[in-house]
Amino acid sequence: MPDAAEAQVVLKPIPFTMAADLERLRTFGEYVNALGVVSGLGISDHGPAGETYELSSIFMIIPHSSQFEPPELWINDAPMPAASIGRASLDAKLSKDWGRAAIVALATRDLRNAESLQVAERAEALRKIRRYLIAERADVGGNEGQSAAALQQLIALVNRAVGP
């Protein structure tokens, strides 16, 4: 989590057999009041170069706000040799993107919660959200512009509400 965020995010593994059914995943995420549900699938292929896996994962953001429709974050990997796939190499590839998606999820939830606040309290809550979004955006690398899009959108939304 970026410096300005006070929240703690906990990751729990859930055994789930219908990972491809996104609506059921969302229903489950809403039921347990999750920030997001991460799932994925792997398709194996036996080609001339040996067994490969094509992996696809999704970070589904569960909270919604009337002002912001969070994106579904898909990560598709090119086919990888089965021998090179290990837990360490996989989560090294995915954790940064998931971490950023968790911030977007947190901001979406906090934006939704801020809607019910009085004007002054709401402005303060929005500034707080902006602080951690800006801190996270500051960490975006020069070649990671794509992953900054949702952050930019959320910051612009807050700026419109409370000014620069």
Partner 1 sequence: MRRVVLACVFVFATNPGWGGAPIKAFEPGKPPPAEVLKDVPVKAVVAEFLDPDNTHLGKEVGYVLWRELLTSVSDQHGVGVIYAHAAGKKRLVDMLQDKYHEAALEIAKSQNARMAIWGALTESDGVLAVDTYLSLVGDVPQQELAVKMIVDDFGRKKPSGYEARVSRTRFNFPRVFITKEQLFDRPLMVAADTVLYNTAGRGKVLRQAQYNETLHTDGVEGEWFRVLLADGTHGYINSINVYLPPREVDASDLPLGAKPAENQEGETTWLPSNTIGAVLEARFAGKSGLFFRIKTSQGEGWVPADRARPHFSMPLVAFTAGLYRYQLGRYDLAASAFGNYTHLQGVERDAPSLSTAYQLLAASYLMRNTPADWALHSLDAAIETTPFDAGAYSMRALASLSKPEGRVGDCLGDLRHALDLDSEQADARNTVALLLGIKPGRPNPIEQRGMSFTMTARDVETLHMMAEKYRISAK
- For residue 59, the minimal CB distance to partner 1 (Å) is 18
Tokens encoding 129 = 């959200």
- For residue 149, the minimal CB distance to partner 1 (Å) is 12
Map residues 25-54 to x or -, x wherever contact with partner 1 holds by CB under 8 A: ------------------------------
With a CB cutoff of 8 Å and minimum separation 6, the contacts of 129 are 107, 110, 111, 114, 154, 158
- For residue 130, the minimal CB distance to partner 1 (Å) is 8
Is residue 82 part of the contact set for partner 1 (CB under 8 A)? no
| Amino acid found at 100 | R
Is residue 140 part of the contact set for partner 1 (CB under 8 A)? yes
Q: Which is nearer to partner 1, 22 or 148 (CB)?
A: 148
**Beta-carbon-side half-sphere exposure of residue 61 (alpha carbons within 13 Å):** 25
For CA atoms 30, 31, 33, 34, the dihedral sign is negative
DSSP 120: H
Q: Where does this chain bind partner 1 (CB under 8 A)?
A: 3, 8, 10, 86-89, 92, 131, 134-135, 137-142, 144, 148, 164
